[in-house]
Amino acid sequence: MLDAARIPPLYQNASFENFVIPEDNPTAANALGFAFTNALNYTRAFPETEKPGLLFIGNPGTGKTHLAVATLRKLIQKGFDGLFYDYQNLLDNIRAGYDRESGSMDKEAYRSVLEAPVLLLDDLGAHRVTDWVDDTVTSIITYRCNFRRPLIATTNLVDPDAGFLMTERSLPGAPVRNTLAERIGMRARSRIFEMCKVVRMPAVEDYRVKRVR
């Protein structure tokens, strides 16, 4: 079942057990511990959870994908089938399956994300917006929402209603970051909020950078 979930090699070992809570900064430790506990409690309650899914939101390198994979892994251990999909890769796969000449579509990727009992959609909105992206994402999210199929999503796009504000989004001079609504469309965003409990990642140091030091 773990193989079928297609967790990428980089996150093959990501679990709750090896998620480190920093000891040097008590405020960050508290906030990160809160995100960690939210995710762990979700796996314990599953499938009787408050909302069917989780949305991890916050800056790059704060451990969103790590915690999302840890969550998915626990649900698989509980016997639920899971599927990991990188958002950009998913859209590429769906698009590649579309045959212009015959107008038909190889719907395998599309169907698998509709039907997966638990779907992890990583890096939501990491793609430029087109009407096609908007329509495709909205239809996937709407379908899963209507059937209350669990969705675990991660994003580093800002969203005021998820407590991730514009003012925190970048350093002076850095490129402007888009909002979730701008990237996936208002309708998909609205449904994400309906079906996912928000797990806000605190402003901890980028773990990738920290590891290099």
Ligand X SMILES: Nc1ncnc2c1ncn2[C@@H]1O[C@H](COP(=O)(O)OP(=O)(O)OP(=O)(O)O)[C@@H](O)[C@H]1O
Binding site for ligand X (CB under 6 A): 14, 18-20, 60-66, 123, 154, 156, 207-208
Contact (Cβ atoms closer than 8 angstroms) between residue 37 and residue 67: no
71 binds, among Mg ion, ligand X, none (CB under 5 to 8 A by kind): none
Of 57 and 188, nearer to Mg ion (C-beta) is: 57
Of 20 and 166, nearer to ligand X (C-beta) is: 20
* Shortest separation between residue 101's beta carbon and ligand X, angstroms: 36
Of 18 and 102, nearer to ligand X (C-beta) is: 18
Q: Whole-angstrom Cα distance, residue 159 to residue 181?
A: 8
Interaction mask 36-75, Mg ion, x per CB under 5 A: ----------------------------xx----------
H/E element, 48: none
Q: Interior CA angle at 124 toward 48 and 159, to 5°?
A: 85
* Shortest separation between residue 59's beta carbon and ligand X, angstroms: 7
Strand order in the sheet with 151-155: 82-86, 118-122, 151-155, 53-57, 196-200
Neighbours of 212 (CB within 10 A): 7
Of 11 and 42, nearer to Mg ion (C-beta) is: 11
